[in-house]
Each structure stands twice: as structure tokens, then as C-alpha cells.
Amino acid sequence: MSFVNEHHAIIKTINFKILFWMVSGLLYLIVQNVESAENSFKLTQHNVEISGFAFVPKKLEVKPGDTITWVNKDIVPHNIVESIDQSVISPDLATGETYTFVVKKPMVYHCGLHPSMKGKLSLTLVP
Ligand SMILES: [Cu+2]
């Protein structure tokens, strides 16, 4: 092999390596972007404890489609009533009982049996 041909072959190899790393880097960036887009659409399961005649946490930031599960840890029954239109969300929950609900809109709620017990679900819009 002449010097010129050998030199040409080396340059070809280097070019191929550079191209390989560029394509790999590009693929890596595409995969990262797809993963972060998927993460921002992941729905969350939130738990609210009913304890000491209070909803804990009292306020939650949620996304449409997120799930809320209330669990009654008190020794008396409680329930969930929407505060604006007074619609009943859950039946009376005895000690240890849970109620699961899919959030569609922002909601202020209270316990129908103890109206001073208040809670709030604020909605965050998904980018
Ligand atoms: Cu109550």
C-alpha cells in the first residue's frame, strides 16, 4: 500500500468514528427528550389521611387524571363533599376505610358530617 492510500484509509476510519459518535450523541439526546416528556405526563397517586378531624395534607397540587385516596384514621366516620355544588363524593368512611377518586377539576371539599373539616385540590396544568 502506498503512503497516500494508507493516509486516505486512516482519514476514512477517523471520519467514520466521528460520525459514529455524532449519531450516538444525537440518539442519546432524542431518548432523553422522549423520557422527560413521558415523565411530565406521568399521573400521580396522592394519599390524604383523615386524622384528628382534619385532612392531611389539607391542600394538594394535582394534575388532571391524578388519583386521590382518602383513608380514615379517626375513630369516627367521615366523608367527602364538594363544597361549591355540595355534591357527595364519598360515602361515609368508617375507621380504616378508603375512598379513591380521579381528579378532573380543581376542588374545595369538606366533611359532610363535620363541615369545619376542609380540604383543597389545586390543579397544575401539565406543560
Ligand atoms: Cu368528618
- Distance from the alpha carbon of residue 67 to the mean position of ligand 1, in angstroms: 21
Residue found by looking up cell 385516596 in the block: 69
25 and 33 Cβ atoms separated by less than 8 Å: no
Q: Would you call the peptide bond into 64 cis, given omega within 30 degrees of 0 as the criterion?
A: no
Q: 76-102, pLDDT tens digit by residue?
A: 999 999 999 999 999 999 999 999 999
| C-alpha dist (Å) from residue 48 to 8, 26, 28, 54 | 69, 43, 39, 10
Instruction: Note down pLDDT in tens along the chain; length 127 residues.
Output: 555 666 666 666 667 777 778 777 777 776 677 666 666 678 999 999 999 999 999 999 999 999 999 999 999 999 999 999 999 999 999 999 999 999 999 999 999 999 999 999 998 876 5
Q: Which amino acid is at 8?
A: H
DSSP β-ladder status, 118-123 and 59-62: parallel
pLDDT at 29: 75
User: Please, what is the average pLDDT of the chain?
Assistant: 87
Domain boundaries of the chain, sorted by first residue? 1-42, 45-123
Ligand 1 centre and the CA of 83: distance in Å?
14
Other Cβ atoms closer than 10 A to 43: 13
At residue 118, the 3 state secondary structure works out as strand
Q: What is the pTM of this model?
A: 0.69
Expressed in angstroms and rounded, the spacing between residue 105 Cα and the centre of ligand 1 is: 23
One-letter identity of residue 42: K
Query: What distance in Å separates the CA atoms of residue 95 and residue 102, rounded to the nearest whole number?
Result: 22
| C-alpha 113 – ligand 1 centre gap (Å) | 5
Residues with CB under 5 A from ligand 1 (ion): 78, 111, 113-114
Name the CATH superfamily, with its identifier, for domain 45-123. Cupredoxins -  blue copper proteins (2.60.40.420)
